[in-house]
A and B are shown apart, each in its own frame.
Chain A
């Protein structure tokens, strides 16, 4: 049995909201004792996915969940949801160097490499939900 606690939800509409997402994520990561390297990975992945939500999904929402498993491990999960056009070719979207927006084409694939768990649900016209999980290396206190 895994208990899930939604810590924070952030709307993503403007460029400045990406900064809000990053700050919220960093705050939560610090509170459960993530190391500096883990924090940086987490914040960078959040930044990529939040920007995708804004640019490709035309805005949406970020949710920060804390999952506590029975064995004591804590997973910080970020769920980005938008109601945008969706992704037609998921494999292509996850290919390094492919970008439909003139970027480096590493955002989505890079976020997948940074995270411990990665899940992408999308269909043309049905929006996109990306979920990334980062496991705390040691059981969180409290």
Chain B
């Protein structure tokens, strides 16, 4: 870099930011980044952001989004990012580029030699570009964290074992059965078979989008494990397109009982434990 971004220029810019603090904050508060906030909060965030940026420029970290200098503005950025994450679309995403215009205008209004104005322009532009990158990074990592958290939640939530009757359990399998989720489903079903002394376990795959060989193998293994524990397994909810695909794929569920719907499987389960459903004689019929 030339002397343009030398320490004296940085000091000059930092001084400008300090002396014109209130003007800059006032200009920033009217930009879309802050207008959605209550005026008091907006003023506070503007002040914090400006102090942070001044510190970044003083320490020469304006071109490095990962630098410690930006640490001082990270809390403000995190709050900006959190706001955009709450919105349904990207329309109200805070875009810090709008802060550049007012800042550069105020800087150019300073009565300064042309080369200093020019170099200062560069420093201020750089620091705001870096700020934008840092904000994007924070938004992205917040997104990744959300996805990871949701995936963990899904893994647990998607495998509830339901007691349909004394001795009859059902586990509705939903979505994509990868090896982790399949394993968890099997384990929780086998545990519940013991805990509830179940004699029939229904694996319902109505909500499974595709049954490939891995999923089929999983269903078979679960059925065998359940049988070893003395419970009969019924696979239900095999939809027409899945049945056709399974046949072409060559999957044979062998001795495992299958039913088209959960209701059919429940009826079969009741017969297995020796119960029948009959109309109530006192009923309207």
Answer yes or no: are A and B bound together in one complex: yes
Binding site for A on B (CB under 8 A): 176, 178-180, 209-214, 216-217, 240-242, 244-245, 248-251
Q: Given the interface contacts A37-B240, A40-B245, A41-B244, does A104 sit within 8 Å of B213 by beta carbon? A: yes
Picked from B180, B217, B242, the residue with its CB within 8 Å of the CB of A103 is B217
Say whether A43 faces chain B, with CB atoms less than 8 Å apart: yes
Q: Which of A26-83 contact B (CB under 8 A)?
A: 36-37, 39-41, 43-44, 47-48, 51
Picked from B180, B213, B242, B244, the residue with its CB within 8 Å of the CB of A48 is B213
Q: Can you identify 24 A-B contacts, CB atoms within 8 angstroms?
A: A15-B178, A15-B179, A19-B176, A36-B241, A37-B240, A37-B244, A40-B209, A40-B210, A40-B241, A40-B244, A41-B245, A43-B210, A44-B210, A44-B211, A48-B213, A106-B249, A106-B250, A107-B212, A109-B250, A110-B249, A111-B249, A113-B248, A113-B250, A114-B248
Q: Which residue of B lies closest to A47 (CB)?
A: B212
Binding site for B on A (CB under 8 A): 15-16, 18-19, 22, 36-37, 39-41, 43-44, 47-48, 51, 96, 103-104, 106-107, 109-111, 113-114
Q: Which residue of A lies closest to B246 (CB)?
A: A44
Q: How far is the CA of A111 from the CA of B173 in the complex (A)?
A: 24
User: Is A110's CB under 8 angstroms from B242's CB?
Assistant: no
Contacts of A111 in B (CB 8 A): 249
Q: Which residue of B lies closest to A104 (CB)?
A: B213
Q: How far is the CA of A10 from the CA of B248 in the complex (A)?
A: 26
Q: How far is the CA of A62 from the CA of B248 in the complex (A)?
A: 22
Contacts of B242 in A (CB 8 A): 40
User: Is B250's CB under 8 angstroms from A96's CB?
Assistant: yes
User: Is A37's CB under 8 angstroms from B213's CB?
Assistant: no
